[in-house]
Amino acid sequence: MLGCAIYNSGEISDNMAVIIDGKQLSAQVVQEVAVETRAFVEEFGFQPGLAVVLVGEDPASQVYVRNKVKRATEAGLHSIEYKLPVHTDQVTLNALVDKLNNDPKVHGVLVQLPLPKQLNEEDIIAVINPEKDVDGFHPINVGRLSSGQGMLIPCTPLGCLMMLERVLGNLSGKNAVVIGRSNIVGKPMAALLLKANCTVTIVHSRTQNIEAICSGADIVVAAAGQPQMVKSSWIKPGATVIDVGINAVECDGKRKLVGDVDYTDVEPVAGAITPVPGGVGPMTIACLMKNTLIAARAQMNK
Ligand code: GUN
């Protein structure tokens, strides 16, 4: 990263692209949650609880779940991990979620996605109590977010928004393009940017002239799942680029992780950019901790 500025604690060290340090910002968020968790424990006499459910042995999901549980401990939360075999059926998984919905020690329930193919993701998300839905995926929370009243907001878009606000301050009036229309990232990201008074465009696999649309944007959030798809010609000089992609690719016989943005190509043009790894990923987990605390407080204040 020679010649690049590192963004940390609000200081920009030279006039090259700011590298948005998701690791550092996420550590700060987790520390803030830890402070608030201590206050929660003093007030109520127990820790907020997060249950994480993993079905099967998908290696990437195993890593994500391990990191979520580790961060939860750092944030002072009580975390419980449930590992179910790959052939688990819908009735068994629903029964576990139902049990967690009714457990007063559990304030947040997360079922790691993707699920094995015999399980229906939409059905299981709908079974999670919306008050404990720390992913913000339940239709009730999706509706709340789209009407601008969201409380439990999907963690990845929330982390992206926090990074954008860190770098740009007020987002009002900015032109933002979201690449990708998934329920987990693209759609909630667009809703959040709209709530922040951006002018928002979603582009996707069927959009014509994506490059031309992106090149007019002040903010580009790439969440298409296509390795290194976004090139420098897509980016307006000085724009802020948030890369949600995490793609494993082979490079010189070695496996490495790349984003949806061609980082080496785009970084000299961008005003600020997130690296992969070390950008959006750690922020997603930090926002999960934040949501668990928010959910716990809301349940105790009912
Ligand atoms: N798989 C990839 N990202 C996520 C996420 O944010 N939540 C859940 N539950 N599964 C995921």
Q: How far apart are CA 9 and CA 144, in angstroms?
A: 32
Sheet containing strand 108-111, edge to edge, reads 78-84, 49-55, 108-111
Residue whose Cα lies nearest atom 3 of ligand 1: it is 113
Please report, as a single letter, which amino acid is at residue 29: V
**Cα-to-centroid distance, 60 and ligand 1 (Å):** 11
Say what percent of the chain tops pLDDT 90: 94
Q: What is the pLDDT of residue 10?
A: 45
pTM: 0.94
Taking only the tens place, the pLDDT of each residue in 213-267 is 999 999 999 999 999 999 999 999 999 999 999 999 998 999 999 999 999 999 9
Domains belonging to the chain, first-starting first, are 46-131 (3.40.50.10860), 154-281 (3.40.50.720)
Amino acid in the structure at residue 237? P
Q: And the tokens for 28?
A: 């700060």
CB 218 within 8 A of CB 272: no
Mean pLDDT of the chain: 95
Yes or no: say if 220 and 190 are a contact pair by the CB < 8 Å rule.
no
291 in Cβ contact with 133 (< 8 Å): no
The question of whether 112 is a catalytic residue gets the answer yes
Residues in contact with ligand 1 (CB, 6 Å cut-off): 110-113, 135, 155-156, 184, 284
Q: Is residue 6 within 8 Å of 274, Cβ to Cβ?
A: no
pLDDT digits (tens, 9 = 90+) for 135-185: 999 999 999 999 999 899 999 999 999 999 999 999 999 999 999 999 999
In the reported structure, the alpha carbon of residue 113 is separated from the centroid of ligand 1 by a whole-number distance in angstroms of: 5
Nearest CA-CA partner of 136 in 68, 183, 101, 81: 183
* Whole-number pLDDT of residue 12: 45
Q: How far is the CA of 211 from the centre of ligand 1 (A)?
A: 28
The reported pLDDT for the residue numbered 15 is: 52
Q: Is 135 among the catalytic positions?
A: yes
Query: Does the structure show a pLDDT above 90 at 99?
Result: yes
Percent of the chain with pLDDT over 70: 95
Would you call 104 exposed, middle or buried from its count of C-beta atoms within 10 A (0-12, 13-18, 19+)?
Answer: exposed
Backbone angles phi, psi at 127, to 5 degrees: -80, -25
